[in-house]
């Protein structure tokens, strides 16, 4: 493993300990940390950001978008709680890094990206790196991916003022949705939404966060 990747894992562990009161855990699942260890983050950041690829912070990837800090990627993956055999929807492909991490844990990742340039580049990048179980599509994340629903987990990498109803509908009973909720560039909270087997919904607030806004919308 690259020395900078080792430092990244150590930084994630430190961040988990620092936020344990909020996130309700002292450590992330070993399989999540293993996935973080093997996905080459430097392949998912722009050339001029290579020196900072494994720093525990977000980085710009163009078109007003960012790649989330490693701790947040690891935490959201852990909160999702998906594993072998599961089919996951990701909203907001970005550079493809979160999808690559998820791909190490689940059977299939369906990822939506609204920015055409990012969608094309991420699909090519993931294919070239061998992530054959990730499918990227250009589309509005508010609408989800109804043809592939229901999903065993949904992870949204941009903040919405409210959880899009289509995503709730496409979540399988017994599954979880992880999403930052709040105003664009204002107060946001990372939340989990659990759908019980009878369809009942349960919302849990996890941590204050800062994400780029989820663009598009049902009327777009």
From residue 96, alpha-carbon distances to 111, 125, 183, 219 in Å are 9, 8, 24, 26
**68 catalytically annotated:** yes
Q: What is the mean pLDDT of residues 57-73?
A: 95
Contact 65, 118 (CB under 8 A): yes
Mean pLDDT in residue range 102-106: 98
pLDDT > 70: percent of the chain: 99
pLDDT digits (tens, 9 = 90+) for 70-88: 999 999 999 999 999 999 9
Asked if pLDDT for residue 220 goes beyond 70, the answer is no
pLDDT digits (tens, 9 = 90+) for 5-48: 999 999 999 999 999 999 999 999 999 999 999 999 999 999 99
Q: What is the pLDDT of residues 34-45, one digit of tens each?
A: 999 999 999 999
In this structure, how many other beta carbons lie within 10 angstroms of the beta carbon of residue 81?
A: 17
Report the distance separating Cα 129 and Cα 120, nearest Å: 14
List strand residue ranges (DSSP E) for the chain, in order: 59-62, 65-67, 87-91, 108-113, 134-138, 151-156, 171-182, 188-195, 201-209
Catalytic residue among 10, 68, 103, 111: 68
The CATH number of 3-209 is 3.40.50.150
In the chain, domain spans: 3-209
**Residue closest to 163 by CA, chosen among 197, 115, 203:** 203
> Is a pLDDT exceeding 80 seen at residue 219?
no
212-219 mean pLDDT: 80
Q: What does pTM read for this prediction?
A: 0.95
CA-to-CA dists, residue 15 to 26, 56, 70, 158, 192, angstroms: 10, 9, 10, 21, 19
- DSSP string for 97-154: HHHHHHHTTSSEEEEEESSHHHHHHHHHHHHHTT-TTEEEEES-GGG--GGG-SEEEE
State the pLDDT confidence band at 126, using cuts at 50, 70 and 90. Answer: very high
* Contact criterion met (CB below 8 Å) for 170 and 146: yes
Average pLDDT, the chain: 96
Read off φ and ψ for residue 8, nearest 5 degrees: -60, -45
Half-sphere exposure of 1 (CA within 13 A, CB side): 17
The span from the CA of 119 to the CA of 206, in Å, is: 29
């Amino acid at each position: 493993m690259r020395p900078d990747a080792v430092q990244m894992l150590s930084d994630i562990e430190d961040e988990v300990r620092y936020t344990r009161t909020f996130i309700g855990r002292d450590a992330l699942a070993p399989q999540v940390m293993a996935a973080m260890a093997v996905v080459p983050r430097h392949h998912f950041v722009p050339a001029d950001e290579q020196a900072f690829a494994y720093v525990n912070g977000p980085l710009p990837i163009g078109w007003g978008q960012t790649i989330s800090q490693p701790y947040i990627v690891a935490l959201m993956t852990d909160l999702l709680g998906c594993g072998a055999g599961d089919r996951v929807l990701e909203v907001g492909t970005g550079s493809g890094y979160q999808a690559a991490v998820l791909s190490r844990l689940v059977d299939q990742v369906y990822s939506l990206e609204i920015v055409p340039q990012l969608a094309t580049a991420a699909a090519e990048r993931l294919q070239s790196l061998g992530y054959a179980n990730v499918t990227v599509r250009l589309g509005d994340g508010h609408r989800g991916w109804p043809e592939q629903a229901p999903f065993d987990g949904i992870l949204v990498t941009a903040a919405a003022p409210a959880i899009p109803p289509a995503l709730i509908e496409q979540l399988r009973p017994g599954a979880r949705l992880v999403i930052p909720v709040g105003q664009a560039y204002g107060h946001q909270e990372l939340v989990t939404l659990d759908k019980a087997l009878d369809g009942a919904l349960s919302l849990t607030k996890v941590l204050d966060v800062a994400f780029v806004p989820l663009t598009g919308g049902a009327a777009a």
